[in-house]
């Protein structure tokens, strides 16, 4: 199976206005007015009809991540591979495909229960992308939306699923102690890429699934100033800063992390490594960052 990229993120909220304000005032995403209504907020990052779909419901949480395949043939091949591996999936039908602005899509869970969707034929908007915050554009061309980091209480079965079933490749096995104590438990993360140069499109973090359903997602902008202005906007709007500015050691991303209204974090960065996979040696990182990235979870 050849998954091209992360395509979209689905999120549930009890308060759509929080997301309207967060997207506009902090992140700089563009609302798709023709798709949005009082219960649905479709947010754009580029030429695509949407990259975030926020829908009203009973909770504040991640619902699913959408991944794209190149065309119908690749999509049908993916379904055959799932059939052969006895992996359950659900054909989501024409109505959902229309809501996702794709030709066809299926839904499935990874072994940790993280919800995924696979689709092809994503539609573009007829309107040009214009950020609400003067961002020149998010870095998505040939790379997809960004990345997602899922929790997996049992890391290895989930890891095998992405590698053996979904066709991802290993980018980095990261292990580091959770604090300075000599007997501190180890933090374990596996980073994986799909069929584009982004260093990782999915990472798995060995931990229980958090109440928000997702550890974090990442969007990428063009330069350090756009990251800096983003940090200013987050602070001006009293958004919780979950991590200070830092540079990651594996994908080289310079970023900070902030809490979204759903409780999971959004990494906002630039300078992510675009890897030539033919000349790449899998990493085994012992530190998450060269500098910075001091994490501070919210107090409530
Ligand atoms: Fe990240």
All CATH 3.10.180.10 domain ranges of the chain, comma separated, are: 5-120, 147-292
**Residue among 235, 234, 257, 233 at smallest CA distance from 244:** 257
pLDDT tens digits, 139-181: 999 999 999 999 999 999 999 999 999 999 999 999 998 878 8
HSE (CB half, 13 Å, CA atoms) of 190?
20
**Residue among 43, 66, 233 at smallest CA distance from 138:** 43
Q: What angle do CA 197, 24, 255 make, to 5 degrees?
A: 40
CA of 255 to the centre of ligand 1 (A): 9
pLDDT tens digits, 229-274: 999 999 999 999 999 999 999 999 999 999 999 999 999 999 999 9
CA of 189 to the centre of ligand 1 (A): 11
User: Of 90-94, 112-116, 198-202, 293-297, which gets the smallest average pLDDT?
Assistant: 293-297
Q: Does the pLDDT of residue 188 top 70, yes or no?
A: yes
**Which residues line ion ligand 1, judged by CB < 5 Å?**
218, 267
pLDDT band at residue 185 under the 50/70/90 scheme: confident
pLDDT tens digits, 129-141: 999 998 999 999 9
Calculate the dihedral angle through the C-alpha atoms of 141, 3, 91, 211, rounding to the nearest 10 degrees: -80
Overall pTM surpassing 0.75 (yes/no): yes
CATH architecture of 147-292: Roll (3.10)
pLDDT at 142: 96
3-class state of residue 18 by DSSP: helix
CATH architecture of 5-120: Roll (3.10)
pLDDT at 181: 86
pLDDT tens digits, 91-105: 999 999 999 999 999
Concatenated DSSP letters for 35-72?
T-BTTEEEEESSSBS-SEEEEE-SS-EEEEEEEEESSH
pLDDT tens digits, 18-76: 999 999 999 999 999 999 999 999 999 999 999 999 999 999 999 999 999 999 999 99
Q: Does the pLDDT of residue 300 top 60, yes or no?
A: no
pLDDT at 134: 84
CA of 27 to the centre of ligand 1 (A): 16
CA of 12 to the centre of ligand 1 (A): 21
- The token pair that represents 231 in the structure block: 């940090």
HSE (CB half, 13 Å, CA atoms) of 140?
20
CA of 85 to the centre of ligand 1 (A): 30
CA of 227 to the centre of ligand 1 (A): 14
Q: Which residues are paired to 267 by β-bridges?
A: 218, 257
- The token pair that represents 14 in the structure block: 């009890």
Give percent above pLDDT 90 in the chain.
95
CA of 272 to the centre of ligand 1 (A): 10
**Residue among 220, 214, 43, 78 at smallest CA distance from 142:** 220
CA of 300 to the centre of ligand 1 (A): 23
C-alpha 95/C-alpha 75 separation (Å) is 18
């Amino acid at each position: 199976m050849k998954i091209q990229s992360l395509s979209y993120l689905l999120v549930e909220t009890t308060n759509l206005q929080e997301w309207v304000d967060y997207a506009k005032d902090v992140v700089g995403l563009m609302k798709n007015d023709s798709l949005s209504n009082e219960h649905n907020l479709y947010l754009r990052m580029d030429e695509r009809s949407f990259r975030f779909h926020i829908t009203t419901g009973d909770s504040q949480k991640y619902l699913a991540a959408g991944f794209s395949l190149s065309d119908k043939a690749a999509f049908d091949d993916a379904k055959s591979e799932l059939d052969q591996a006895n992996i359950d999936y659900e054909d989501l039908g024409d109505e959902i495909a229309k809501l996702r602005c794709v030709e066809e899509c299926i839904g499935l869970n990874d072994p940790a229960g993280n919800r995924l969707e696979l689709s092809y034929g994503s539609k573009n908007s007829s309107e040009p992308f214009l950020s609400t915050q003067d961002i020149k554009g998010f870095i998505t061309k040939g790379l997809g939306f960004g990345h997602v980091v899922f929790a997996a209480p049992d890391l290895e079965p989930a890891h095998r699923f992405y590698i053996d079933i979904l066709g991802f490749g290993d980018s980095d096995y990261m292990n580091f102690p959770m604090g300075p104590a000599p007997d501190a438990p180890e933090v374990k993360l596996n980073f994986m890429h799909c069929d584009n140069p982004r260093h990782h499109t999915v990472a798995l973090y060995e931990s229980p699934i958090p109440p928000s359903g997702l550890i974090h997602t990442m969007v990428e902008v063009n330069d350090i100033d756009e990251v800096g202005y983003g940090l200013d906007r987050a602070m001006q709007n009293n958004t919780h800063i979950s991590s200070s500015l830092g540079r990651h050691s594996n994908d080289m991303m310079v970023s900070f992390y902030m809490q979204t209204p759903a409780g999971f974090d959004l990494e906002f960065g630039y300078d992510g490594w675009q890897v030539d996979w033919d000349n790449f040696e899998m990493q085994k990182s012992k530190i998450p960052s060269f500098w910075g990235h001091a994490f501070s979870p919210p107090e409530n």
